[in-house]
A and B are shown apart, each in its own frame.
Chain A
Amino acid sequence: KAGVTQTPRYLIKTRGQQVTLSCSPISGHRSVSWYQQTPGQGLQFLFEYFSETQRNKGNFPGRFSGRQFSNSRSEMNVSTLELGDSALYLCASTSGFSPQSSYNEQFFGPGTRLTVL
Chain B
Amino acid sequence: AQSVTQLDSHVSVSEGTPVLLRCNYSSSYSPSLFWYVQHPNKGLQLLLKYTSAATLVKGINGFEAEFKKSETSFHLTKPSAHMSDAAEYFCVVSDKVGGTSYGKLTFGQGTILTVHP
Question: Are A56 and B101 in touch, CB under 8 angstroms?
Answer: yes
> Given A42-B110, A102-B94 in contact, is the A110-B105 Cβ separation under 8 Å?
no
Contacts across chains A and B counted by CB atoms under 8 Å: 77
Bound-complex Cα distance A95 to B110 (A): 26
> Can you show 25 pairs from A to B with CB atoms below 8 A apart?
A31-B103, A32-B103, A33-B104, A35-B105, A43-B90, A43-B105, A45-B103, A45-B105, A47-B103, A48-B102, A55-B103, A56-B102, A56-B103, A56-B104, A58-B104, A90-B44, A96-B103, A100-B97, A102-B32, A102-B96, A102-B102, A102-B105, A105-B49, A109-B43, A110-B43
Q: In the complex, how many residues of chain B place their beta carbon closer than 8 angstroms to a beta carbon of chain A?
A: 28
> Given A100-B97, A100-B98 in contact, is the A106-B105 Cβ separation under 8 Å?
yes
Q: In the complex, how many residues of chain A place their beta carbon closer than 8 angstroms to a beta carbon of chain B?
A: 32
Bound-complex Cα distance A49 to B109 (A): 25
Interface residues of chain B, those whose CB is within 8 Å of chain A, are 32, 34, 36, 42-46, 49, 51, 90, 94-110
Residues of chain A from 20 to 68 with CB closer than 8 A to chain B in the complex: 31-33, 35, 42-45, 47-50, 55-56, 58
The interface residues of chain B lying within 8 Å CB-to-CB of A43 are 90, 105, 107, 110
Interface residues of chain A, those whose CB is within 8 Å of chain B, are 4, 31-33, 35, 42-45, 47-50, 55-56, 58, 90, 92, 94, 96, 99-103, 105-111
Residue among B46, B95, B104 facing the most chain A CB atoms (10 A cut-off): B104
- Excluding A45-B104, A48-B104, A107-B46, 5 further A-B contacts by CB distance (< 8 Å) are A33-B104, A43-B90, A47-B103, A55-B103, A92-B105
Bound-complex Cα distance A99 to B98 (A): 6
Question: Are A48 and B103 in touch, CB under 8 angstroms?
Answer: yes
Residue among B42, B96, B99, B102 facing the most chain A CB atoms (10 A cut-off): B102
Q: Which chain A residue shows the least CB distance to B52? A: A103
Closest Cβ–Cβ distance, residue B112 to chain A (whole Å): 12
